[in-house]
Amino acid sequence: MIAHIQSTLEQPNSVFGGLPICPYVQRARLQQLIRFHVYPFDSRCLNPTSDLMKIVREFQSQQRFEVLLIIHSNRNAMSFSQLQMFVTVLDQQLASMQLTAFGGHPDDPFHIQNIRTRQDPYPNIAIQSIQKLKRASDQLSKTHYYDHWSAENLKSVGLPR
């Protein structure tokens, strides 16, 4: 997954105003602000007492990391639509913690001008602080990062606010 991050998400791209797909991931990776966790999540993990939710609470309480990246150990464990449903329910549970979740999947069709920004080698969930994400997207809105995003693309990430 780290090789994918370096070769795909960290590389500058003209579609994003010359910025990488994820402009902040390289800094976070180099400063070890991403907590990588391989975990075989499924719908049972949405129980508030599950090990997955314990991992999330630990992430929130430590505040050492900016991103919790939970990577499924089985590439074929869930379909893209199953991951979407999982993330939707998880995101609702995380709202009270001021966290948000979004997923990546080998079959994710999301794209910005044919650049598949969420197509990852394994199903995964990224969990981050809502406040930090808003601050980052506000900074990016002052650049050319969003110039090629459709209204539908922007809506999918909560923009405009």
As a whole number of angstroms, the distance between CA 137 and CA 157 comes to 9
Look up the pTM and report it. Answer: 0.94
pLDDT single digits (tens) 98-149: 999 999 999 999 999 999 999 999 999 999 999 999 999 999 999 999 999 9
As a whole number of angstroms, the distance between CA 135 and CA 133 comes to 5
Q: Decide if 26 contacts 20 (C-beta within 8 A).
A: yes
As a whole number of angstroms, the distance between CA 23 and CA 111 comes to 16
Where in the chain are the domains? 2-156
Residue 12: phi and psi, rounded to 5, are -60, 145
